[in-house]
């Protein structure tokens, strides 16, 4: 069955037909197509464009198709051109020639835009919940390990000691921004394009606001030409998904590093590791590595979709069919990655003793020593140079800050006193970072309070 063909003298070339079919991938829009068609049928009946009885019969037929698909009793014919054609074909089987009235005052152009918005709206709601579930795991871990120090890094070099909780909460706020971005994107998704028809609207006395209300939209797309060609909402989602995947990739990379023998900061449950075909001792963090790797495909879909839209004239062009596979694969990538990361972290164990030992290496409290001198009145640049000299001295002697006598400290600056030893411990350095958002325990507790409120909102 085709929804067109009256002006053609021959059937489409078989290769061209197969090349242009979208049902193999847009069949996942079936539920949304049926939902939108039911709302459209009700509107046609309400506006007396068809009789109320005809509208009732169309709705009943669509409901039977929906139930049959859900039960596996109705099978799609993959030779159909697209999901809209196939639903209409199935409706003809249910209600006969009346099915042909369903398309009154509607085009596939506004129909597919409607389906995409309905579909993406639901997916965004589910993704935001899945992001929240991952955030909850991060909060639980941060609360469980509050007070446990670890090394913080810049340039992948040991920098300053921080709390493990502070490190975990950094990812919480990344994912909070992802949730916020998705919520903002949803506002632009949640506008109804139905009523735009092919591009210029329709001469039938329709009530698109009625359809929008039935389907839970916030309002109508204000311009019919823009309504059928707009894919900004889809691009925005792909961009938001790419950012979220970049955050997941960062976290996955740290898990990969932390689980190495050299770091030994985290022990992944056996259920989240794989082995080697030749090395019996291996425990490979493959799920984390795959999350890290899969970020690239979401970036690719974003760029590909932007390229499809580049320079397209108004309004609908068949190029827009390319939007769906990019969207569907991005969804099929992002959601499993969120769930895998959540479960992998929830079952992981942190070696806090090893982390604390690492936090004290590499003169990680050097900044605190410089700040100590500044509080004694030494200009920071001079204090920075003095501490640099102390580090060089320790490296030559093969000792650490903790090995130096007070006499040795005072040989570099007379400002050093008995309290010097209090500032060179990792915990002492951590407790001193009391600025807002800092790693001091009381500040991390404040973050956790904010995080709990954010999760409840």
Task: Give the residue numbers annotated as catalytic, written as ranges.
Answer: 155, 276
Long-range (24+ apart) CB contacts under 8 A made by 71-79 are 76/23, 76/27, 76/30, 78/21, 78/23, 78/24, 78/27, 79/21
Distances (CA, A) of 394 to 142, 158, 399: 34, 17, 5
Contact criterion met (CB below 8 Å) for 246 and 220 = no
Nearest to 268 by CA among 247, 250, 289: 289
Contact criterion met (CB below 8 Å) for 126 and 139 = no
Give the C-alpha separation, 132 to 344, whole Å.
15
For residue 204, how many other CB atoms are within 10 A of its CB?
13
Residues 6 or more apart whose CB falls under 8 angstroms from that of 335 comprise 126, 127, 130
Contact criterion met (CB below 8 Å) for 104 and 44 = yes
Q: At what angle do helices 441-456 and 108-144 cross, to 10 degrees?
A: 150
Give the C-alpha separation, 100 to 89, whole Å.
9
Q: What is the torsion angle, in degrees rounded to the nearest 10, for the CA atoms of residue 402, residue 403, residue 407 and residue 410?
A: -40
Q: At which residue do the structure tokens 């904010």 appear?
A: 450
Distances (CA, A) of 231 to 112, 176, 193: 11, 25, 12
Residues 6 or more apart whose CB falls under 8 angstroms from that of 410 comprise 416
Give the C-alpha separation, 266 to 377, whole Å.
42
Residues 6 or more apart whose CB falls under 8 angstroms from that of 320 comprise 112, 229, 231, 308, 312
Give the C-alpha separation, 122 to 128, whole Å.
10
Give the C-alpha separation, 43 to 66, whole Å.
19
Q: Which helix (H) or strand (E) holds 161?
A: strand 157-163
């Amino acid at each position: 069955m085709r929804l067109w063909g009256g002006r053609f003298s021959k059937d489409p070339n078989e290769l061209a037909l197969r090349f242009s079919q979208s049902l193999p991938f847009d069949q996942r829009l079936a539920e949304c197509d049926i939902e939108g068609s039911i709302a459209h049928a009700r509107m046609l009946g309400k506006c007396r464009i068809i009789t109320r009885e005809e509208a009732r019969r169309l709705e009943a037929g669509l409901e039977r198709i929906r139930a049959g698909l859900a039960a596996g009793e109705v099978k799609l014919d993959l030779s159909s051109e697209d999901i809209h054609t196939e639903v209409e074909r199935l409706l003809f089987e249910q209600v006969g020639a009346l099915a042909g009235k369903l398309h009154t005052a509607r085009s596939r152009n506004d129909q597919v835009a409607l389906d995409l918005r309905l579909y993406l709206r639901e997916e965004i709601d589910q993704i935001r919940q899945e992001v929240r579930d991952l955030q909850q795991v991060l909060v639980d871990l941060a609360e469980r390990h509050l007070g446990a120090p670890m090394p913080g890094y810049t340039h992948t070099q040991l920098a300053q000691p921080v709390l493990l909780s502070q490190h975990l909460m950094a990812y919480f706020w990344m994912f909070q921004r992802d949730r916020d971005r998705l919520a903002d994107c949803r506002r632009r998704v949640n506008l109804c394009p139905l009523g735009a028809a092919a591009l210029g609207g329709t001469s039938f006395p329709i009530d698109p606001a009625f359809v929008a209300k039935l389907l839970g939209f916030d309002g109508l797309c204000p311009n019919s030409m823009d309504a059928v060609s707009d894919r900004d909402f889809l691009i925005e989602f792909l961009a938001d998904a790419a950012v979220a995947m970049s955050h997941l990739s960062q976290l996955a990379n740290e898990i990969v590093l932390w689980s190495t023998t050299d770091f030994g900061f985290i022990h992944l449950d056996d259920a989240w590791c794989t082995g080697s075909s030749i090395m019996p001792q291996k425990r490979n963090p493959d799920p984390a590595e795959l999350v890290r790797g899969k970020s690239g495909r979401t970036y690719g879909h974003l760029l590909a979709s932007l390229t499809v839209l580049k320079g397209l004239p108004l309004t609908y062009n068949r190029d827009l069919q390319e939007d769906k596979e990019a969207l569907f694969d991005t969804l099929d990538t992002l959601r499993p990655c969120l769930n895998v990361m959540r479960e992998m972290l929830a079952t992981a164990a942190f070696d806090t003793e090893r982390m604390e030992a690492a936090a004290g290496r590499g003169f990680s409290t050097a900044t605190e020593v410089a700040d100590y001198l500044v509080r004694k009145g030494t200009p920071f640049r001079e204090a920075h140079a003095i501490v640099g000299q102390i580090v060089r001295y320790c490296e030559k002697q093969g000792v650490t800050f903790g090995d130096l006598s007070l006499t040795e400290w005072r040989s570099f600056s007379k400002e050093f006193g008995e309290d010097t030893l209090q500032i060179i411990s990792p915990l002492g350095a951590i407790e001193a970072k009391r600025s807002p958002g800092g790693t001091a325990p009381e500040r991390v507790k404040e973050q956790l309070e904010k995080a709990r409120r954010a999760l409840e909102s």
